[in-house]
């Protein structure tokens, strides 16, 4: 005798297709966060100099925050009857966050962080749009994560305004 | 001289009818959580055996969480000018969460929890749908609670997959 | 090969009948505490007014305390080889703790709390008397709970002395 | 070489006008919270009497909460590329929360708090409506703040029911 | 000039003989707890397997609890003018709690724990009976310890019910 | 309409006389603890010397413990419908705990503490005897306090054994 | 070979007489605080009623604060080469803080607290005046204590304004 | 029957005029701190850039500290029988702490903070001078606050030495 | 004028070649830990079933521990004048830790963890051997990490003994 | 299909014999720590007198520390594929730490502790020597424990220098 | 454009000379505290024996306290526009706190501490006198430090009374 | 009867000469740490400017860390039967860490810290080399301290790379 499934909401039997689309979007988001964790560890250790300390302290805190995001995405994939992928499916994409030639070149790091956050913001806006009215739990969870990313981006834009004043609006 | 009421939002004078409908839905949700507290106390004490420990530990934590949900529902009823009902109005409905014949029969407990969570998920989806664009505070609060319930259900479905592999999708 | 049972004390084989009587008394106590939890949630949310704040704060703290009592009774039932009952066996009895007509009528609430505590005190005194010299563990546990209830009752009697001076000794 | 902006969501280049409207609304909300901080400090010190203690304790806690709201509004203004205004732009508006003639007149304070919360609730409902589907982060943040304000208002309405029973619904 | 002794209670001069009997019983209890500490360290390290984790976690917590019991017994011996014995007087008796042949044989461990707790329960019931009305402090202290042991025993009986259903009542 | 009193236990109407006797005994106990607080403050400040440090540290901790005992006695007097007396009814009796002539004379202090604890032990044994089977809550509470006092006395007897070996058994 | 004393400040050899005068004043202050501790225990237990809760909570906190003051006075007496007196030298003076006839008469308690604080404020002002420029450590310590007492007095004056409006300025 | 007032110190009846002068000075100090809270919120959010982080972190901590000062001033006004003013009496004066044209112009912010602290230091020195020997409690409280402000000023002077070396001594 | 380098130890100028060899080994270790973090997130979310809980809880704790190891390796690379590599250089190697076909197949996960730990143990033993007497700081750090990995491996070997008794020694 | 073992380090297949020798040494160390726990409980309760307090406090802290050592030894035995022995294999050897004839004879206790620590220091030096370059994890763990024991021994040697000056170097 | 300096108080331009005198006095105080830190580390490690434990524990706590004093003096020097001196300007003066010939000679240590505290007390009294009415912040800070030193001195005088009764008053 | 010494390890009688050599090296290390504490207090207070904040925060944390190192060295000297020297034997050597002419010259401070750490690293490498295989406890302790110093040095080298790019490798 099988237990019945919920007949309402995203977990209902007639929402299988949408669930799979959401899982695909969450899986991409999951990998973005995992790569960000990697990039932030790297960039919270390599840079030299006094000015670099602010960047380093900021990224060190973000490592835990981004790891938390990754775990939230993973848990939601599971809740929607998906499977979190293994390490063989990882593809690095953040070419802009690789170590610079000189470790005192923090403008390189700041630009890379802004680029990474911009990509995340765009993807998360898409998830929010897609899940609106369809899967309120995913929707609400991603809005909260989007808030974090917008805050990070704005902080590093501020850094860039000082370092390269003509690159920002 | 009477203080004026807010002229905007769910607390506005012209929203009386909708408020009452929401109160009714919240009252039902309140009783569901209260019965769940009861059922989880029972089922976190009775079961025997090593495998039962995981179930017990999970339910013991959920007692506090579900009690918190009940108190949130009660507080929201109050905020919407409703009255939280007294114990005489309680009607037990979770026939599937009564103690099994043998206290080592944990499959019975797991199935019961899934059933209870399914009912809650369905009802909370209805509240979310009804309050969307009408009462954003209730809407947001219930989404957060729905997230908890979906997580519980998924965890116990995982248990059932091991205990009775052919009952779950 | 069966493990042997303790040959001394309430868990000994020749104490089966007394154990069952104690379990019955503990089950009643369990339901009294569960209903009190329900009633205190209700009455810690509904009342309006400044004077009601003291009552509300007192009851909010008691919710956790009474829930703890319920869990202690449940655990002891289990230790004595009983089974904690399910929600279908619950029967509401605290007619005196239902919401009053006007939510500023706190005298109604105070009187209800005193009534509930009086019933608990009487029942717990009976358990203490019955287990004295027979089951020292239950005896000791119920004395500690009795102390809490006597303290609550005395506090609310003090409230009543102010609200309705001629109703108390 | 300028870093690219996000092409999706409220931070996208084609949303400039809407961002400015939101900033204007958030700036008004910011000043409302700042004035509330001021008014609550005043009214958590001046009142005399035993009944006043509940009001005072409630307002003392709210000072930190409202300050937190102000800081959230300020941070969001910054994230949307606005500038938080300086003290010269402050204009007091809470005429109803000035110190009463007699410091034991707590009904005056209670009425003033309800008035202030009503204004906030109305304005925040407007922001929520405007940002719905446009800026989910601001939308979500303001809903959470709205919940706090509705709770405060309801609490003080309860106080007023006792102090001036015919002024409330 | 000698200070006077208390003329009332178990510390009075005319209670010397009873004190010595109690000391003897407490000394036996002390050694039972010490050996249990030893056995629980052993059995919280040796067992292999997933099911063994519950047993191990339970025993790891109990090590500190049982050590605490031993220290309470030792302190009470001192308070009654006795001397806590040295390690040369230790005699191992828990033959049933020695490491099994295969470290995945957890039924062996569970049976051993039940046996050890049964012995403790019997001995502590005897102390409680003997000190009743004679030495209320020792009486009260041993009742509290008895409660712990009954709880442990019941938990492991539950484990045995699953592992060897026909060995338990 | 008066609320009914509990018909069982020490709070029942037919136990008035016994309650008054218990209140009298608790009042004496209350004053003993209050004077001990005073004496321990004095004797935790005055003594000079290295050896005095152990005494001072021990008494400093006991100040809070004895104050706690006094507050427990006061609360129980209240619960039994008595009135805690005011400062005018205080009569000092601990002549043996007044400051010695030389502040390095710690033997004087040690002897005084033993004398004070002996008196308390005797009085508390009497309360325990009187309340046995009559008022289990008071009985249980005083046993716990007696345990503390026996421990203190034994510690200071140990001190005296070193300072004046022929004064102790 | 004697160690030398400090040649500067209140501990210098030529300040013996002034030190003794300060010790006398501190000893009086010490007894005032000790009696206040006693009176506040009494008055934090006896009063009945909802309004009494604010008074009780305030006094319960003050017990620790006033005990701390007493211990500070005692320690300073010691530092100035004085001896803290024993319990036999205590004389009760707070006739105005004895229990009232009816335990709901909180105006009696409020008036008594104001009277006690007024006496303390006067005495501490005298110590501050006497030690100004002579013993800055005592001076600074007593100013901090005076601040506490002024705050307590003002709070209870506020209570009295409500309870008996024509008794306060 | 009116309670008597203290006949000694700043609260005595013959000190009415001086109390009023102190209240006036404290009211000005109160408004200075309130405006500083506002200005520091603004300036802890607006600035962009890495160097700005140190300023921002420093101001964020100071917000709570300055708010605490404001609350201390308010409480002291109350203790001296004054009334804390309402928001309508606020007048902005810190023209030098308004947002600069470019948010990376931190020299503007640093200069503004120094200007604000200089004004506070001057006013607090005047209060200290006026209350010396007259109101030791206010005197002591303001000295402690002055210490904080001198520390802040010195820190920001250090910042200015780096940013604009020829502007500081 | 250049600062001088330390003339002793692994940081000395004549140790450049060895430093580079150590950096290479640490870089490999760094990537092993990073992949392990990834694999453990995956495998702490995917598995279903009661027995899987122990595995999941164990891996969830290890995520933080392994991330800490990665950060220690990264920091040591930096201290030895190396550069931590970016995400583009990551190559997945843990084919044995990819998600199994059925999420209740925990034997697959247990085997994968043992395999991963075995590889780490081998590599870390090599680093320890190479740095012995050459770079005591790296040596000591890696021994501590090795201890963690040996413990993990042993725990999962124990799990495998139960799940697949004939696969382990 | 068996999982492979690590081919490097002490866990490699070709190190079986050495592992067994280490296990034997660790087993002896385990029993030494267990007996020390026993002896320290005894000697932290029995001694009388002021000077004994320092000894007692020191031993009370060491009980937990030595228990921790025992658990570390046990865990390492397990990691090396050994089995922690049961209580029947315990043999008491610390004849020098049995209770003395008079409980104020602390020199006896101090000498006993030194003797016990000397034995441990010798045995642990042997383990360190044997594991050097062979099993770095055990080596490192035992060095840390040795440090503790050397510190304890030195402390008690200092005590003995005062008690029996001619017995120490 | 230079920022203006405060025109009031010790930081005013016309107080330069007095500031320099205060800086000189604070610099001497700074070095006294630094040497005391050194001496207390030495004397909290060297002494042997049971009686030495009280001294050692007291000095260990004082290390942090005296270091805090040094840091307060350093910060105040900075605030008054002085420069904290470097280690080359340190001159040891506490000849009386060098290690004694025998490490059980604690009378030597006690005498040395009293001597050091006496010197500090004298110097701090001079600073307090000089800054009275001139620099209230320094004045207040040094009074608080003086209180600590008087307390330390008195404690060690008490020790000396026991060790060498005829050396103290 | 003398207690026996350990016959194994660095504390054995035949290791006297080596112990003395180690003590000499530890004494030098002790003084290096003490002077570093002094220098870091100075340099954590004097510097002005925003960039100086990172240096100051880093040095403030290091004060406690270096003090801890000094206390570890002192304790180990004691354990090896040495005597920690007194303040008269201190000789300042860190000429490079004296205050610079201008307090905004942080390059001076950074260079000085690197110089100090280089000297420590060299000396600690020598101790590690000398104690290897001879005194494993000292060896292990100094390796851990060396790790801290290498980390500090690397951090400040990074600062120097920014401030004076051509001075570092």
Kindly write down the DSSP assignment for every residue of chain F, as one continuous string.
-PPPPPSSSTTSGGGHHHHHHHHHHHHHHHHHHHHHHHHHHHHHHS--SHHHHHHHHHHHHHHHHHHHHHHHHHHHHHHTT-----GGG-----GGGSPPSSTT-HHHHHHHHHHHHHHHHHHHHHHHHHHTTT-HHHHHHHHHHHHHHHHHHHHHHHHHHHHSGGG--
Global confidence as pTM: 0.95
* Contact between A3 and B147 using a beta-carbon 8 Å cutoff: no
Both ends of chain B: CA-CA distance in Å? 62
Query: Which band of pLDDT confidence, cut at 50, 70 and 90, is reported for residue F5?
Result: confident
How many percent of chain A have pLDDT more than 70? Answer: 98
Q: State the Cα–Cα distance between residues L147 and L103, nearest whole angstrom.
A: 30
The proportion of chain J whose per-residue pLDDT surpasses 70, expressed as a percent, equals 98
B82-133 pLDDT, tens digit each: 999 999 999 999 999 999 999 999 999 999 999 999 999 999 999 999 999 9
Q: pLDDT band at residue E169, thresholds of 50, 70 and 90?
A: low
pLDDT at D166: 80
List pLDDT tens digits, range L8-25: 899 999 999 999 999 999
Encoding tokens for residue D168? 């409330």
Residues, chain B: 169
Q: Which pLDDT belongs to residue F1?
A: 47
Q: Is residue H9 within 8 angstroms of chain G, CB to CB?
A: yes
Q: What are the pLDDT digits (tens) for B3-51? A: 777 788 999 999 999 999 999 999 999 999 999 999 999 999 999 999 9
How sure is the predictor about G1, in pLDDT bands with cuts at 50, 70 and 90?
very low
Taking the CA of residue C57 and the nearest CA in chain G, the distance in Å comes to 11
pLDDT at C7 over 90: no
pLDDT tens column, L88-145 = 999 999 999 999 999 999 999 999 999 999 999 999 999 999 999 999 999 999 999 9
Query: Chain L contacts of A47, Cβ < 8 Å?
Result: 158
Cα–Cα dist A58/D77, whole Å: 21
The model's pLDDT over I25-58, given as tens digits with 9 standing for 90+, comes to: 999 999 999 999 999 999 999 999 999 999 999 9
Best mutation target among L46, L48, L54, L102 (most H Cβ atoms within 10 Å) is L48
pLDDT computed for residue D1 by the predictor? 47
Residue C2's pLDDT is 60
- Smallest CA-to-CA distance from L58 within L147, L163, L158, L164 is with L158
**Per-residue model confidence as pLDDT tens digits over G97-142:** 999 999 999 999 999 999 999 999 999 999 999 999 999 999 999 9
At residue E117, does pLDDT exceed 80?
A: yes
What percent of chain I is modeled with pLDDT above 90?
92
How many angstroms separate the CA atoms of I23 and I73, rounded?
Answer: 9
- Return mean pLDDT, chain J: 95
Nearest Cα residue in chain C from E113: C3
Cross-chain Cβ contact H50/A163 below 8 Å? yes
Q: What is the mean pLDDT of chain E?
A: 95
- Minimum Cα–Cα distance from C84: chain B residue: B42
Nearest CB among L53, L103, L104 relative to H54 is that of L53
Q: Look at residue G23 and tell me whether its pLDDT is greater than 80.
A: yes
User: Helix D50-79 to helix H51-79 angle, to the nearest 10 degrees?
Assistant: 160
Q: Is A45 on the interface with L (CB under 8 A)?
A: no
Tell me, what's the pLDDT at J169? 60
Task: Please state the three-class secondary structure of chain H as a single string.
Answer: CCCCCCCCCCCCHHHHHHHHHHHHHHHHHHHHHHHHHHHHHHHHHCCCCCHHHHHHHHHHHHHHHHHHHHHHHHHHHHHCCCCCCCHHHCCCCCHHHCCCCCCCCHHHHHHHHHHHHHHHHHHHHHHHHHHCCCCHHHHHHHHHHHHHHHHHHHHHHHHHHHHCHHHCC
Per-residue model confidence as pLDDT tens digits over I121-164 = 999 999 999 999 999 999 999 999 999 999 999 999 999 999 99
Tens digit of pLDDT for each residue in J29-60?
Answer: 999 999 999 999 999 999 999 999 999 999 99
A45 falls in which pLDDT band (50, 70, 90)?
very high
CB contact under 8 A, A132 and D133: yes
Determine the pLDDT at residue L1.
Answer: 47
Predicted ipTM of the assembly: 0.94
* Residues composing chain G: 169
Q: Is the pLDDT of residue D6 over 90?
A: no
Closest CA to H118 of D87, K8, K82, K134: K8
Q: Please, which residues 143-162 of chain G have a Cβ atom closer than 8 Å to chain F?
A: none
Query: In chain J, which residues have their Cβ closer than 8 Å to the Cβ of E67?
Result: 63, 67
Do E and K count as touching (3 or more CB pairs closer than 8 A)? Answer: no
* pLDDT of F34: 98
The residue ranges of chain K whose pLDDT is under 70 are 1-2, 169
Binning pLDDT at 50, 70 and 90, where does residue A169 land? Answer: low
> F55 with F106: CB under 8 angstroms?
yes
Position A4 scores a pLDDT of 74
Residue A1 has pLDDT above 60, yes or no: no
CB–CB contact H48 A163 (8 Å): no
Give the pLDDT of residue I2: 60
Residue A94 pLDDT greater than 50, yes or no: yes
List pLDDT tens digits, range D107-124.
Answer: 999 999 999 999 999 999
Query: J93 and chain I: CB distance < 8 Å anywhere?
Result: no
Q: Chains that contact B by 3+ CB pairs under 8 Å?
A: A, C, D, E, I
The rounded distance, in Å, linking the Cα atoms of G118 and G151 is: 11
Supply the mean pLDDT for chain A. 95
Best residue in J50, J55, J109, J162 for a mutation probing chain F (most F CBs within 10 Å): J50
Please tell me which residue, F71 or G169, carries the higher pLDDT value. F71
Name the residue among E24, C85, F40, E16 with its Cα closest to residue B92.
C85
> Cβ contact (<8 Å) for H103 and D87?
no
Q: Flag if A136 and B115 touch (Cβ within 8 Å).
A: no
In Å, what is the CA distance from J9 to each residue of B117, I88, I111, I130, J27? 51, 32, 20, 13, 21
- Identify all chain I residues contacting B161, using CB atoms and an 8 Å cutoff: 48-49, 103-104
pLDDT one-digit tens code per residue, D57-101: 999 999 999 999 999 999 999 999 999 999 999 999 999 999 999
Smallest CA-to-CA distance from G49 within F143, J7, C160, F117 is with C160
* Residue range E81-86: mean pLDDT, rounded: 97
Checking if the pLDDT of H10 tops 50, the result is yes
Query: What per-residue confidence (pLDDT) applies to F84?
Result: 98
Asked whether the predicted pLDDT for residue I1 surpasses 60, the reply is: no
- List J residues 48-67 in contact with F (Cβ-Cβ < 8 A): 48-53
Task: With an 8 Å CB cutoff and a minimum of 3 pairs, decide whether chains D and B touch.
Answer: yes
Residues J64-79, mean pLDDT to the nearest whole number: 98
Residue D169 in this model has a pLDDT that exceeds 80: no
Q: What is the mean pLDDT of residues C48-70?
A: 96
């Amino acid at each position: 005798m099988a237990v019945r499934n919920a007949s309402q909401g995203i977990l209902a039997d007639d929402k299988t297709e949408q669930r799979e689309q959401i899982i695909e979007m969450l899986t991409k988001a999951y990998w973005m966060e995992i790569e960000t964790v990697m990039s932030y560890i790297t960039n919270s250790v390599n840079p030299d100099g006094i000015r670099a300390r602010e960047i380093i302290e900021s990224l060190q805190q973000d490592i835990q925050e981004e790891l938390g995001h990754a775990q939230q995405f993973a848990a939601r994939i599971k809740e929607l009857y998906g499977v979190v992928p293994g390490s063989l499916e990882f593809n690095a994409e953040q070419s802009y966050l690789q170590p610079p030639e000189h470790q005192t070149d923090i403008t390189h790091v700041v630009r890379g962080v802004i680029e990474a956050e911009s990509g995340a913001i765009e993807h998360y806006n898409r998830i929010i749009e897609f899940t609106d009215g369809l899967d309120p739990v995913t929707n609400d969870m991603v809005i909260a994560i989007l808030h974090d990313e917008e805050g990070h981006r704005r902080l590093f834009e501020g850094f860039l305004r000082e370092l390269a004043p003509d690159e920002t609006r």
